[in-house]
A and B are shown apart, each in its own frame.
Chain A
C-alpha cells in the first residue's frame, strides 16, 4: 500500500464493446431464464456503462457455490462484507496502491472548495427486481428516511458540517449533488467506508428502492395496506418495520428487498444455512464483458463453537473465510492444508494489540500516574515484545507501538518503534524518579497514598490469556502488580463506556486509512473515554479535560482536518494526530500487524495475496468477491 489516490480517476468503462457491437456474456443459469422468457436479455439488464471490475489474476468461469460459516444474526458482517456497494469504493491494485473508484454511480466530481460533491448514477442501472434506479430513489432516501426524525432521530456527525446536515439537490433523473456548509475534503474517504444508513453500514448509501419501500412508509403508503403489512410482520407501529427491529429494509433478512449487490438473499436466517444467490441485474462486468459475479451462490453455515469452524475448515468444507479463524490455530490449519484441499492465505491486520491505561480513572492516584509520561514510558519499556510475539502469536506478528501500520499513508517509523526497546533497568529508574520508591513485603511498589501499586487489567479477549500472563510477569519484575481479569464483553463494553477501569487490553485497530475512522486516536476506545464523550457531545456529557491537556491538540488537529480546504491539507492534519500520539505515548502497544488468516479452497481463484485487512478498507470486500471464481479442473 503505497499511496491513497483520492482524486477522481478515469472511470473504467466499456464504450468500445458497445460501439463494436460485442455481446455481453452471462451465467448459464441466467441464460436459461432468458431463453425461457423469464428474464430480459443481458444487454437490457446492464446499465449503458457497466462497471468494469478488474480481475486480480485471470478472467473467470461461471458457476459454483462458495461455502462459508457464520455465527448468527449479529455476525452479519460475515455475509454482508462480501457484497457491499458504495457510491465510491476503495480499490487496491496488485502493487498494493490504493485508489478510490466510482461504484454504482458512474462518475463523480468534487467542487473546487471541496464543499459540493456531484454524483451521476449509471444510466440504465437496475435494482435486483429489474426496476430502474433513478434520483427518485435518492430523493426518497433523503427526504423520507434521512431527514425523517422517526427513523433517524440523530444524524451522524459524518454527514453534517457545522452542525448542519448535508443538503441534496437533484439536477435530473441521474444526477444529484451533496453540499456542506464548510469544506469537507475527507467526505469521499468516509463514503468508501461508511454507508448512510443506520445502523446498517451494508446499505448502498444515498439510496433506497422507492418502488418497493413506499408501501411501508406512511408518507407514500395506502394506510390500509400499511396496516396490513404492520399486522403481517407482527409490528406495533410502522417504524418497527424499519431499521432496528425491521425485516423490511434488512436485505439479508428479507428476500423481497431489492438490492444492488452482486448476490441477494435466498434463504434468510434463522435457517441453519443462509443462502445468497446471484443478482441477475448486477451492474458489473469483467474486461471481456462477462457479467459478474462468477459464483452462482454463497452458503453460510451456522456454527457456535470456534472448534467447529476449525473442523469445517480442515475437512474442506470452507471455501473462503477469515472471520472466526484464529491465528492461534495457524499450525493446525497449516498441517491439514493438503487433506482439506485448501491454502492458508495471510493478509496483514491493521492493528496493534495494546494495553491502554485510563486517563479518566476515578482513582485519582492512579489517574495521576497514568498522566505522568514517565510512568507510561516505564510501562512501555519494561515489557519484552519479542517474547510476547513468540509466545502468544507464534512469532507471526511484529513487535511495535500502537500506530498506523507499515504501508499506511499515515505510517510513521518513529511512532512505530517508540519505547519498544526492552529496558527494565531504565523503567525501574523512571518509577523511582516518580517517587514510587517504597516497597511492600512482597516487593511491590507503594503509591503515594501507601496503597500497593496494583493495576487491574481487563480484557474481553479470552484467547489472549498467555499474552496477559507474560505482561503480568514483566511488570511484576519492576514492582507493579497486575491483576488480570478476562470478562464478558458486555461488561467490558460497559466499563470502557463509563471509564470504569484501570487498564484494558484491546486491539488498536483501523490503522491504515485513519481518516476513515479516527476514533481510536481521539480517545473513544480507551485512553480517555470521558474526555472524548465531552468533546463529541459538545460538553453535554462526559468530563472536560484541563485547559492545557494535550488531548485538546489531537481534537483540534482532527477538527482542522475535517474542514481543510484540500485533501492534502486534511491528510497533513491527520498526520499531526499521529505525531501527537507518538509524542505523548498514551498506549502500550505490544504486537501488531498480525496476519489475518484466510482459509481459501484451492479451486477458488483470483483471491489477491497479502492485502491489508482493515475495516476502513472493508475487510474481505477489498478482494472484490464479484470477481472470485472456481476453476473447473
Chain B
C-alpha cells in the first residue's frame, strides 16, 4: 500500500509541471495581454492612455519579455520563496487574494457536496427499489428539470422570489452591516441566513445528475443473484438493500471524490458571480478575462494540486472499499 502511494506521488510531480506550463501558455494565448485589457477597461470608463505609457507599463510588468522568461520568474518565485507573484489587476500579492477567499469557498462547497449526497443517495435508492412507481416518475421529472435548469438561472429566480415575497436581502453572504465586521455570533447567524441560497442552488443540479447514476447502478445491482440469495435468507428489504447493493452502487461516488476537491475551490463560478458571493470563482473569472496571468496561474496551480491530491485520495478510498480492486 505504501509503495502504491509513493509511486502515485512521484507521478504527480511531472503531471504538475506539465499542467503549470500548459496553463501559463493557455492564459497568454488570447490576443493582447494584461495591459491591453487594462487599457480597454480604462477606455470603457473614460480614461485615455497613450502608446508610450502603455509600453512603459508593459515594461514595468515585464510583459515585454519572452514568455518562457516570465514563466521561469513566476515559477521560480513560487518554488524558492513561496511567492505567487503580484496580481497585475489588484496590485496585491496573489497569495493575499487567494487564501482570503478560500475559507468561505470551502465551506459553501463542502456543504453543497454533502447536500447533494443527502438528496441523491436516498432518492436514488428509493427510485430503484420502487421502479416505475408514482414517486419514481415524479423524481425522474424533477431530476430532469433540476438537470436542465442552469444554476445561474435558478439563482436569479430564487433571488427574485426572495426579494418579491420575503423582502429578503439577497446576494452576498453577509448583510452590508456585517461585511467588514469581525466574526461574532450575530455575524455567523447572518451568514447562515444567506448561505442556504447558494447551497441549494449548487446542490440541485449536481443532485439531479447523481440521482440518475445512483438509480441506474442500483437497478443493476438489485437484479444480481446475491440479492435474490439475501432475500431467500429471509432478510428484510431494508437490510438487503442498504447492506450490499448500496455499497457497490456508491463506487462511482467514491471514484469522483477527486473531482469534487477542485470543484470545491473553483465553485460554480457563474452562480457565485450572480449571487455576488465573496468566493474564489468570481476572482478567477475576472483574472482570466483581464489576463491577470499570475493570479489566474496561481489559482489554476492550486486547483491542479487539489485535483491530484483528490484523485489520489479517491484511488486510496477505492482500494480500501472495493475488495475486487484490492486483490487485483
- Chain A positions within 8 Å of B, measured between CB atoms, are 67, 72-75, 77, 153-154, 156-157, 198-199, 201, 234, 239-240, 243-247, 250, 253, 267, 269-273, 275, 299, 301-305, 307-308, 311-312, 314-315, 317, 323, 339, 460, 488-494, 497, 509-510, 517, 519, 524-525, 533, 536-537, 541, 615, 619
Contacts and interface: CB of A to CB of B under 8 A. Distances in A.
B291 A490 contact: yes
Contacts of A303: 171, 276
A244 B61 contact: yes
B13 interface: no
Which of A307, A339, A524, A615 has the most chain B CB atoms inside 10 A of its CB?
A307
Interface of B: 30-32, 36-53, 56-57, 60-61, 83, 86, 89-93, 96-97, 100, 156, 159, 163, 167, 169-172, 176, 179-180, 273-276, 278, 282, 285-286, 289-291
Nearest to A507: B44
Given A199-B47, A245-B91, A493-B43, A301 B176 contact: yes
Contacts of B38: 74
B139 to A, nearest CB: 31
B89 A491 contact: no
A619 B36 contact: no
A239 B56 CA distance: 12
Contact of B274 (A67, A270, A308): A308
A320 to B, nearest CB: 15
A74 B289 CA distance: 12
16 contacts: A157-B50, A234-B93, A239-B60, A244-B60, A244-B61, A270-B90, A270-B96, A270-B97, A305-B274, A307-B156, A314-B163, A339-B167, A489-B41, A490-B30, A493-B37, A493-B43
A273 B51 CA distance: 34
B293 to A, nearest CB: 13
A489 B44 contact: yes
A434 B302 CA distance: 61
Contact of A493 (B39, B48, B180, B276): B39
Contacts of A312: 171
A571 B115 CA distance: 68
Contacts of A536: 50
A415 B320 CA distance: 80
Given A234-B86, A270-B100, A273-B180, A304 B273 contact: yes
B276 A305 contact: yes
B47 A77 contact: yes
Contacts of B290: 74
Given A234-B83, A307-B274, A273 B91 contact: no
Nearest to B33: A490
A294 B156 CA distance: 37
B89 A73 contact: yes
A201 B47 contact: yes
B31 A494 contact: yes
A493 B91 contact: no
Nearest to B60: A244
A619 B46 contact: yes
B36 A272 contact: no
A491 B46 CA distance: 18
B70 to A, nearest CB: 14
Nearest to B180: A273
